[in-house]
Chain A
Amino acid sequence: MDASNKESALNVNASSIKISDVSQDGDMLTFAITSQNLSGSGGVCVFRTYEDFIWLQQSLFSQEDVPELQGVIFPPLPDKPLPSHSHTQAKVLKQLGFLSLGDKWQIYCKALELYLQQVAAHTLLSKNKELYNFLSSSESPGKQRSKKGIFNRLSQVMEEMRKEGHKDVDEFFQSERDKTTNLSVLFKVATEKFLEVVLTKQKLALACGHFSTSLHLCVNQENADAVAFSKICLKLSDIIETMKRNFEKVSDNDMSTLGLGLELESRYQEAKREMLFRRTCRLVELDNANKNVDRAKPNKKAHMEEVQKATQKEFNLISSVAKQEIVHYHRTRVQVLRDFLIDWCEKQLSTAQESSTLFSQYLEACKGLAV
């Protein structure tokens, strides 16, 4: 996630990766991804669909020549966008949360953008050739392997049940596992609750809109008697309209900063948990290998010891990578959350100031209204 990827094979500036546009064609969203190489000279723009993103993620997962990959916290790819009309708003909302909000998938694009930046900034992952292709080749990447991913998931769930409780040999990892399980739930809940807050604000904005429009209907210009009252109604309508815009702005601020931040964080916690789980699986394998060595008959003992050593070595490698990753993740997540919080706070502050200026103007205007 740091930009310190000098030795990476990727000649792309991670922070320059942007999703500049999104177009919708039926159920298909196509994202326009622009990026610049490190020298800052040439800019590239490619068009990718969500399937391409899945393909990229799969390629990252399955780099067979890199054993330490198991210890990597993979930047989490957002869930599949559901632009179709066949999906109800409620379902989309439930699946995607904050990512489904905003005009034209704006929040979702932001999340994808963050994903690409994080992948590109990752010391190990950025070396992947496919990433470079993904970012710069004008051709669509090869066939997706998402099927396997689904199987992975399913089997993971099964295994999870058995292996989640496996006692760790390392206290550090044991406590990380416990904390992550706890935190990821908390973040998920917080995200959901915050989503409800934002949705309520949107409802309020809508209600204000209706109210303001209805006030316009009360205006009766034909009758001279009612002119004064009509004026009052119009004023009130303006005020309510301002309230509405205020709610809209506040909820936009919420979703584009803290909302996105919380969502990202809870996905990352999940990714971390998956990584820890993969390591736990290795640990289980190692334990089995150790048992096998103990129980093995003499003629097979040598082979078993070999296997056990290899497993031990692999496990140690994964553990050390995982440790680094966790430390690194902790540092960056605080940074990321901090940035979101500050951004949020500043935006809310300026919105509140704007509104309060408007309201005080209205107040003066109303006081001056001759009735």
Chain B
Amino acid sequence: MKMAASSERSPPPFPELEDQELEPELEDEDSDEGADIFTGSTLSSMDPPLPVSTSEPDKDIFSGPRAEPLNNPLSETAAEQLKAVSGASSKAKGDVPVEEAGSEEPDDLFSDPLGESGAELETHTSNAPLLDFSEEPPKSDPIKKAASADDYIKKPQKDIFEESTEDGVKAAAAHVGSVAAEKKVLHTDLFGDGVDDDEDKDDLFKTPPGAMMKKPQASLFRAEPDDIFPEAKTEAKPATKASAKQPNNAPTDLFTEEPFTVMPAARAAVKPAAIPSANTSSKTNGLHSDEEDLFAEATVELSLDSPRNDRRKRDAMKPSEPVPCPSTSTSSSKPQPKKLEELEEEEKEDKFDLNISVTNPEKVGDGMNAYMAYRVSTQTTLSMFRSKQLTVRRRFSDFLGLYEKLSEKHSPNGYIVPPAPEKSILGMTKVKVGKEDLSSDEFVERRRAALERYLQRVVSHPSLLQDPDVREFLEKEELPRAVSTQALSGAGFLKMINKATDAVSKMTIKMNESDVWFEEKLQEVESEDQQLRKLHGMVESLVNHRKELSVNTAVFAKSVAMLGSSEDNTALSRALSQLAEVEDRIEQLHQDQAANDFFIFAELLADYIRLLGAVRACFDQRMKAWQRWQDGQNMLQKKREAEAKLLWANKPEKLQQAKDEIGEWEGRVSQYERDFDRVSATVRKEVMRFEKEKTRDFKKQIIKYLQSLLHSEQQLIKYWEAFLPEAKAIA
């Protein structure tokens, strides 16, 4: 109800503002403009009472959303960051900057971050800038603070700072820096624990540049709003607390009515709420989920809509976002590509640093217990390996085992885990039986190449490379025997993929509202799958024809040879015999080319068809995460309804238990939500990486193929040039 109200109300004014006023200004924005905004925002606080009047809406919005994120991050980042830096003293320090900031201003409002953010949220959603001026002055302080906060928040903020200052947008840079920092910190506090934080931050950094190329704005919006939104929710929480005491309508009021009226309530609630929130992040989480309360009531009935609301909210928030966005995207257009190149270089280096080859397939044992062992040689300069040259022997099931381990660990997080080659009972049986025929040689070579490509794909993935199991696989002399790889054999694997596809398609129906990007991507992936399958069929027929040609050429060569030997005319006979030899060589060329067609294209396409299966599986994982989140929300709502009933029935003895349960579920739901966000981010990143990798892979293969074609033609030229004098010599 509230959500609906807010989302319906807020968007209309914003898009216009965003498009007509904010955007252009921001794009033109230079360093001095940025400065203007600074003063502007402080000024606007001086001529306060009319912000609602349309005469100066831009200013309001500027001062509102833009300044807010600024001060918000300050207090929050400072608080969070300090927390991270100096664990126990966090609370005190967290309070300090904020209080300094707010010292000249209404203390109660700014005494703690939550209060601020609560107010801020309301300004966002209700589009009532009135609140701002009260907040603004402190804001300018906090901005300065931001600079000082930099010292604490060294890493993340500095990065952004450097990036943006490079662009010469100095003053604006401060905005951007702090806003982005806020995002990052929010991110951090979303994801909680230390190590993850670093990674996630990195992720944030990496994703935008990639997306930036094509849809700079959209991607920024998406990457960031995700983070902001939860924050916004956090902020809403105090209000919820208040609402817990007050009638249910209160929250609605919060968002629809002028914030002023709400403020007291919020303030009242904020004070107690703020302190615990500063204490520990886990507690904050609890509070986070408290907010869910608000949303849950509004959205659980329209649980499908909630993602959409998210989006709307994001849209609604856009006005505040353009501030960082255009400045980073337009002004940083130079550094961004640079970054991208760096990234690519990095990846290339990776490949250069790590060379894996699978060689020497060898049959071990006899009869049906026989298996193929391969030599896995690693050449690397990466310090994570214990030496520069590693050689181990692995059997096929070890490769499958590696895949299973990786897939178990990484695919629930949304990573695209390259699939290992399939088991082939038929092919292996032939090898086992020991038939030394062509087809079993072909099979072994094909598998060897597939295993090599598999390992190369695994290690070229930055996250998988870090996995201890990968290192162990490459380094350790003896591996424990992989078990239960049976499930992955050929048909089983396919079945698994098909199952995943079914599940995905089922879920897409339910989820099609959530995010256009994912929906479109999934469709793309599916149509690409079809196309690749078709191409694969064509390459296969090409390979078959080529083989046929090679066979026919051989037959023709033989028949020419017979002609030559029966021919009376010596010169003609000689020429025919020569021709037979030429045709024999050409036959070899065709055979080689058939192998090239196969290994360069057919196998590449087959690999990618399987990889697309893995891509779909990672979309599936995202769906699952979403489903879990939705289920959690439903459960939470049920718990709340139960609580409401208990309240109604006035049974205080059971109330505590109900509250505990709600608390527990709130925690879970927010955990699920963060999981979902994280998986989504990973999936997006992974898909981008996959596509880049795919393009590079295809390019590499095409070059290889061209080289083989060129070589064939050059050989042909040689053959014909040698034969021409023979033909001319026929008298």
Contacts and interface: CB of A to CB of B under 8 A. Distances in A.
Interface of A: 179, 182-183, 186-187, 189-190, 193-194, 196-197, 200-201, 203-204, 207-208, 210-211, 214-215, 217-218, 220, 223-226, 228-229, 232-233, 235-236, 239, 243, 330, 334, 337-338, 341-342, 345-346, 348-349, 352-353, 355-356, 359-360, 362-363, 366-367, 369, 371
Interface string B698-712: 110011011101100
A366 B706 contact: yes
8 contacts: A196-B552, A207-B541, A218-B528, A224-B213, A224-B214, A232-B702, A359-B710, A363-B710
Interface of B is mostly: helix
A363 B713 CA distance: 13
A360 B712 CA distance: 12
A232 B698 contact: yes
B697 to A, nearest CB: 9
A233 B701 CA distance: 12
B552 A197 contact: yes
A149 B318 CA distance: 93
Contact of B717 (A233, A342, A353): A353
Contacts of B694: 229
Contacts of A356: 710, 713-714, 717
A224 B695 CA distance: 13
A207 B709 contact: no
Nearest to B687: A225
Interface in B545-598: 545-546, 548-549, 552-553, 555-556, 559-560, 562-563, 566-569, 571-572, 575, 579
Contacts of A363: 703, 706-707, 710
Interface extent on B, as a size class?
35 or more
A196 B555 contact: yes
Given A193-B559, A225-B688, A359-B710, 12 more contacts: A187-B563, A197-B552, A197-B553, A200-B545, A200-B549, A211-B535, A211-B539, A217-B534, A236-B702, A337-B572, A359-B713, A369-B699
A196 B556 contact: yes
Interface in B512-540: 520, 524, 528, 531, 534-535, 538-539
Nearest to A230: B695
Contacts of A225: 214, 688, 691
Contact of B556 (A183, A194, A236, A367): A194
B723 interface: yes
Nearest to A342: B727
Contact of A218 (B531, B541, B569, B579): B531
B730 A239 contact: no
A236 B723 contact: no
A367 B710 CA distance: 14
B721 interface: yes
B528 to A, nearest CB: 8
A159 B709 CA distance: 55
Nearest to A194: B556
B338 to A, nearest CB: 15
Given A229-B694, A348-B720, A239 B714 contact: no
B36 to A, nearest CB: 34
B549 A210 contact: no
A193 B702 contact: no
Contacts of B568: 179, 330
B102 to A, nearest CB: 45
B85 interface: no
B534 A190 contact: no
Given A200-B552, A224-B214, A232 B699 contact: yes
A93 B563 CA distance: 23
A26 to B, nearest CB: 34
Contact of A226 (B524, B535, B560): B524
B654 interface: no
A193 B524 contact: no
Interface of A is mostly: helix
A193 B555 CA distance: 7
Contacts of B556: 190, 193-194, 196-197
B550 to A, nearest CB: 9
Contacts of B575: 338, 341
B695 A239 contact: no
B696 interface: yes
Interface string B389-431: 0000000000000000000000000000000000000000000
Contacts of B569: 330, 334
B608 to A, nearest CB: 11
B215 interface: yes
Contacts of A229: 691, 694-695, 698
Contacts of B481: none
Contacts of A193: 552, 555-556, 559
B699 A345 contact: no
Contacts of B449: none
Nearest to A349: B720
A111 B513 CA distance: 70
B559 A186 contact: yes
A236 B709 CA distance: 12
Contacts of B214: 224-225
B503 interface: no
B206 to A, nearest CB: 16
Max count, chain A CB within 10 A of own CB: residue among B215, B541, B563, B695: B695
B727 A338 contact: yes
B699 A186 contact: no
B724 interface: yes
Contacts of A235: 702
A186 B563 contact: yes
A363 B703 CA distance: 6
B535 A218 contact: yes
A226 B731 CA distance: 61
A243 B528 CA distance: 24
A201 B552 CA distance: 10
A265 to B, nearest CB: 10
A355 B714 CA distance: 9
A183 B566 contact: yes
B716 A334 contact: no
B705 A239 contact: yes
Contact of B695 (A186, A196, A232): A232
B706 A186 contact: no
Contacts of B560: 190
Nearest to A250: B716
B702 A239 contact: yes
A211 B688 CA distance: 27
A207 B543 CA distance: 10
A203 B545 CA distance: 7
A345 B719 CA distance: 10
A107 to B, nearest CB: 18
A360 B695 contact: no
A200 B544 CA distance: 10
Given A214-B538, A223-B524, A338 B572 contact: yes
Given A214-B534, A214-B535, A356-B710, A197 B699 contact: no
Contact of B730 (A194, A215, A232, A337): A337
B728 interface: yes
Contact of A186 (B215, B562, B696, B707): B562
Nearest to A206: B545
A220 B542 contact: no
Contacts of B520: 223
A215 B724 CA distance: 38
A365 B716 CA distance: 23
A367 B699 CA distance: 8
A355 B699 contact: no
A223 B545 CA distance: 35
Contact of A352 (B545, B566, B713): B713
Nearest to B582: A345
A15 B572 CA distance: 24
Max count, chain B CB within 10 A of own CB: residue among A190, A342, A345, A362: A345
A189 B702 contact: no
B730 A190 contact: no
B714 A201 contact: no
Contacts of B728: 338, 342
